[in-house]
Amino acid sequence: MVKTYKILILGGGTAGWMAANLMAKSWSKQGFSITLMESPDIPTVGVGEGSTPYIRRFFEQMDIPESEWMPQCHATYKNGIRFTDWTTKPGFESYFHPFATDIDNPHFNLFKQHVALRRQGLNISVHPDDYFLMTHMTKRKKLPLPTGQFSHTLFYAYHFDAKLLGDFLKKRALCAGVKYLVDKAFEIEKHPNGDIAAIQTHSNQRIEADFFVDCSGFSSLLMQKALDVPFISYRDSLHNDAAVAIPSAAEAPFLPQTLSAAMPCGWRWKIPLTHRTGNGYVYSSDHLSGDEAEQQLRNAAGINNARTAAHHIKMRVGRNQAHWKRNCLAVGLSQGFIEPLEATGLQMTLITIEQFIAHFEKGNFTSRYQENVNNGINAAFDHIRDYVLLHYLANNRNDTQYWRDCRGDVAISDSLRSILEIWSQGGDLEQELQRQNISQYYPSLSWHVILTGMGVFPSAHYQNPSLNQQFQTSKANMKAFFNHCVAQFQSSVSANQQGSVQNVY
């Protein structure tokens, strides 16, 4: 018979409430008792408005339809990310990283053929923006919602108000039987064997549990502080360690994308929500002060009202050496964080909880599979770090020392180094990804898109009229195909009966 566990989740940010929901769904019927405790005076980080398509899996697992959660969280659809100004190379000042679907497969193959010709020096202009459906849809403000039948299901993600998503998940968890305590942990008590025994709180409670989930944010109270798990910093690769966020008015119609625009000492995001636009600047505090960052963001985003408050955040970039140790799992910012250039925070949160639940059950609620889980999560963190780092390595900006430092003396993993060597030597990138078995983190399409979108090509040196003609014809056919498809999707804005404008979720 399975023992009935008492689980205590420390922290009520998005990570805590996601864990509470998924664990309650898996285990409340088995009589597990799940309690979430959060401090009344330590706020949640309050940012995190973008996502990857992984987040859809969460809502699907929880049987929560879009029509229920999206309006409550002022959510919008996200077709991908537009990167602007990361290079100054003519023709490569901007590119879109789409969430690709299987309808893109034939054009992805064509893209790879064209890229191969361009990498061999044929003088043709190859840019990823021409080849993927979501890119064309986004340019025309189309949502991934067909107006009628469409032959393929599109792959997409969401933007949402992080605070409202937390509130929504909290309500769901409480309905599912999760108990809720508002109190501040101040001492962690351990068993003689080193496991966590109980949390002593400010109001003199002693809360015992069999298993603890550390969702305490950057402070990582249980995993790093109580269990002494080392933190492995990524600062030797990634310079950014701070962010400032300022909202501005909603735009309608909006582009269903995250904008990631390079700035003098970092980059800024622009995220469309239905009630406001989220703006933020992720920067390096070695290169820029908080006040300067705030002013640069206000200027770039056109936020003239000085009374709109800015939210300044310090970021600790890196990961724990382990995410599951003894009777404790760290989830969310307490387990690690990579700057949100590819919006992977909640993806890592979800993967960690899913992996833990699956392996804890498989190991009959013992630590048997702890190492597998830790190795898998560490690999995911490191490979996401590599993909994010490539944005900086491939930049060619010279306007500030920051950009020179970003491609200067930085630590590069063997995996990324090998990818870059294969690319620059004209080798087969896909084969290399397979050899390293890393396509599950970023697929071949993403690697091709970033390298070509940032114009990482040798200089073109030959003409071939017949190949050039074939290239032009296939691009014209592709354009006609995308025009036909895009016409079948809803816009990010629709006229209501009064003729005013209304957002479509």
Ligand X SMILES: Cc1cc2nc3c(=O)[nH]c(=O)nc-3n(C[C@H](O)[C@H](O)[C@H](O)COP(=O)(O)OP(=O)(O)OC[C@H]3O[C@@H](n4cnc5c(N)ncnc54)[C@H](O)[C@@H]3O)c2cc1C
Active centre residues (catalytic): 78
Q: Which is nearer to ligand X, 89 or 314 (CB)?
A: 314
Q: Rounded to the nearest whole angstrom, what is the least distance from the CB of residue 309 to ligand X in the complex?
A: 15
- The residue range among 23-31, 290-298, 330-338, 419-427 that interacts with ligand X, by the rule CB under 6 A, is 330-338
CB of 54 to ligand X, least distance (A): 9
Binding ligand X (rule: CB under 6 A), the pick from 6, 56, 139, 184 is 184
Assess 455 for contact with ligand X (CB under 6 A).
Answer: no
Residue 380 in the binding site for ligand X (CB under 6 A):
no
Question: Could you give the CA distance from residue 485 to residue 359 in angstroms, rounded to a whole number?
Answer: 42
272 part of the interface to ligand X, by CB under 6 A: no
Q: Is 12 annotated as a binding residue?
A: yes
Contact stretch for ligand X (CB under 6 A) within 13-21, 94-102, 367-375, 486-494? 13-21
Q: Which stretch binds ligand X (CB under 6 A): 47-55, 168-176, 447-455, 456-464?
A: 47-55
Q: Minimum CB separation from ligand X for residue 230, in Å?
A: 19
Residues of this chain, 17-46, that bind ligand X according to CB under 6 A: 37-39, 42, 44-45
Determine if residue 336 is labeled as part of a ligand binding site.
Answer: no
Q: Of residues 80-139, which lie at the interface with ligand X (CB under 6 A)?
A: none
Q: Which two tokens stand for residue 224?
A: 């790093």
48 lines the binding site for ligand X (CB under 6 A): yes
DSSP 272-335: E-SSEEEEEEEE-TTT--HHHHHHHHHHHHT---TTS--EEEE---EEES-SEETTEEE-GGGT
* Site pattern 308..327 for ligand X (x: CB under 6 A): -----x-x------------
CA distances from 470 to 114, 462, 476 (A): 10, 16, 10
Nearer to ligand X by Cβ, of 162 and 438: the residue is 162
**CB closer to ligand X out of 34 and 126:** 34
191 CB-near residues (< 8 Å, 6+ apart): 197
Please check whether residue 446 is in contact with residue 80, taking contact to mean a CB–CB distance below 8 angstroms: no
343 or 390, CB closer to ligand X?
343
Report the 10 Å Cβ neighbour count for 417.
11
Element (H, E) at 246: strand 242-249
Q: Do 391 and 228 touch, CB atoms closer than 8 A? A: no
- Interface residues for ligand X in 276-305 (CB under 6 A)? 280
Residue from 346, 380, 394, 438 that binds ligand X (CB under 6 A)?
346
Among the listed residues 50, 7, 16, 8, the one whose alpha carbon sits nearest the alpha carbon of residue 217: 16
CB 344 to ligand X: min, Å = 6
3-state secondary structure of 262: strand
318, 340, 453, 455: which one binds ligand X (CB under 6 A)? 340
| Placement of tokens 């790093």 in the chain | 224
Residues 6+ apart with CB under 8 A from 414: none
Nearer to ligand X, 241 or 432 (CB): 241
Q: Are the C-beta atoms of residues 199 and 185 closer than 8 Å to each other?
A: yes
Q: Residue 353: enclosing H or E segment and its boundaries?
A: helix 345-362
Task: Tell whether 362 is in a known binding site.
Answer: no
Cβ of residue 129: shortest distance to ligand X, in angstroms? 22
Amino acid residing at 106: P
Which tokens sit at 298? 């206000």
Task: Tell me whether residue 41 or residue 409 sits nearer to ligand X (CB atom).
Answer: 41
Specify which residues 118 forms β-bridges with: none
Sheet with strand 328-330: strands edge to edge: 179-182, 33-38, 6-10, 211-214, 328-330, 324-325
The residue from 15, 227, 293, 449 that contacts ligand X (CB under 6 A) is: 15
Choosing from 143, 215, 273, 338, the residue that interacts with ligand X (CB under 6 A) is: 215
Q: Residue 165: how many CA atoms within 13 Å on its side-chain side?
A: 29
Interacting residue with ligand X among 73, 207, 288, 333 (CB under 6 A): 333
Q: CA-to-CA distance for 233 and 231, rounded, in angstroms? A: 6
What number of chain residues touch ligand X (CB under 6 A)?
Answer: 38
* Min CB(63)–ligand X separation in Å: 21
DSSP state for residue 230 in the 8-state scheme: P
| Nearest CA-CA partner of 243 in 225, 268, 222 | 268
Under 8 Å between Cβ of 245 and 313: yes
Paired with 258 in beta bridges are 81
Using CB under 6 A, which of 49, 104, 161, 386 touches ligand X?
Answer: 49
227 makes contact with ligand X (CB under 6 A): no
Question: If binding is defined by CB under 6 A, does position 47 make contact with ligand X?
Answer: yes
Smallest separation (angstroms) from ligand X to the CB of 45: 4
Pick the closest to residue 102 from 147, 153, 48, 139 (CA basis).
153
Measured distance CA(409)–CA(148) in Å, rounded: 53
Q: At 36, give phi and psi (nearest 5°).
A: -115, 130
Residues pairing with 324 in the sheet: 329
CB of 29 to ligand X, least distance (A): 26
Query: Which residues carry a binding-site annotation for L-tryptophan?
Result: 342
Query: Which residues carry a binding-site annotation for 7-chloro-L-tryptophan?
Result: 78
Residues that bind ligand X (CB under 6 A): 10-16, 37-39, 42, 44-45, 47-51, 162, 184-185, 215-217, 219, 221, 243, 280, 313, 315, 332-334, 340, 343, 345-346, 349
Query: Which residues carry a binding-site annotation for FAD?
Result: 12-15, 333
